[in-house]
Amino acid sequence: MEEQNKRLVPEFKANKLEIDAQRHWDLFYKRNETRFFKDRHWTTREFQELLSEQQCSRSGQRRTLFEVGCGVGNLVFPLLEEQIKEQKSDEHGFYFYACDFSPRAVDFVQANALYDSKHITAFQCDITTQQVHQHITGESLDVCTMIFVLSAIHPDKFTDVVQNLWKLLKPGGLVLFRDYGLYDMAQLRFKPGHKIAENLYMRQDGTRSYYFEEQQLAQLFTSSGFEVLSNSYVHRRTLNLKEGIDVPRIFLQGKFRKRTAVH
């Protein structure tokens, strides 16, 4: 990692990456369409709150889940499919909201065969701004999921994002988080010329990625009115036997609950 400091991304270029962030993600989806990310079938194993049998809220109402930075829907559609299979979608299943910065990604979500406004609403928005409040009522959500999304956002804006989620969640509502962990293989492999700031890098295609440290993530959420239910590194391997790839990966996974007001 010492090597990476030999040549940093120049300031004017780093500023331009921020200005062009939406364009870079939109071009990413123009190039990759729906082929890049795999369906995230591990989510119900890692986060029990997403299981359909857990989905009836205490008041008996349909629960609501907001997937931030949904891409082409690799998290929401497997969950919705399971609900439909179990015929739980109308009463006990989640109602899904999904947003992405990239208009193309949202188009792909809306074009999915499972897309039906009875079960899901997808919309374009920059989650670092106030736009989301035009789409979702305050204090209405049970669960927010952020899966490899905050890493795509500049660290100066992390607090704005977490505060937006705080406003949208019901008291006691949860944020389920998974993202790149500090010293993940993908971080170590950046060559000089890619580092923008501490733990923040530019990829070849102009998208950025941040690598999270446990304490820092806990601090981010606790300072915005959440309590930490869990927060730890998970170690996985990326395996591709055909290409002879077997590399260790480090992710940071957390569960944060919106504090209920203290009177």
Which residues 72-131 are close enough to bind ligand SAM by CB under 6 A? 74-75, 99-102, 105, 126-128
Joined tokens for residue 64: 């609501």
Nearest distance from residue 131's CB to ligand SAM, in Å?
9
249 class by beta-carbon count within 10 Å (0-12 exposed, 13-18 middle, 19+ buried):
middle
Nearest distance from residue 36's CB to ligand SAM, in Å?
8
260/81 Cα distance (integer angstroms): 32
Specify whether the CB–CB gap between 137 and 182 falls below 8 A.
no
Return the residue matching tokens 């079960």: 119
Determine which residue in the list 50, 120, 122, 153 makes contact with ligand SAM, applying CB under 6 A: 153
Specify whether the CB–CB gap between 142 and 64 falls below 8 A.
yes
Residue 150's H or E segment, with its range, is: none
Determine which residue in the list 8, 27, 34, 37 makes contact with ligand SAM, applying CB under 6 A: 37
Fill in the per-residue mask, 128 to 147: x = in contact with ligand SAM (CB under 6 A), - = not in contact.
x------------------x
Determine which residue in the list 17, 149, 202, 220 makes contact with ligand SAM, applying CB under 6 A: 149
135 class by beta-carbon count within 10 Å (0-12 exposed, 13-18 middle, 19+ buried):
middle
Determine which residue in the list 69, 93, 173, 181 makes contact with ligand SAM, applying CB under 6 A: 69
Q: Residue numbers of the site for ligand SAM (CB under 6 A)?
A: 21, 25, 37, 40, 69-71, 74-75, 99-102, 105, 126-128, 147-149, 152-153
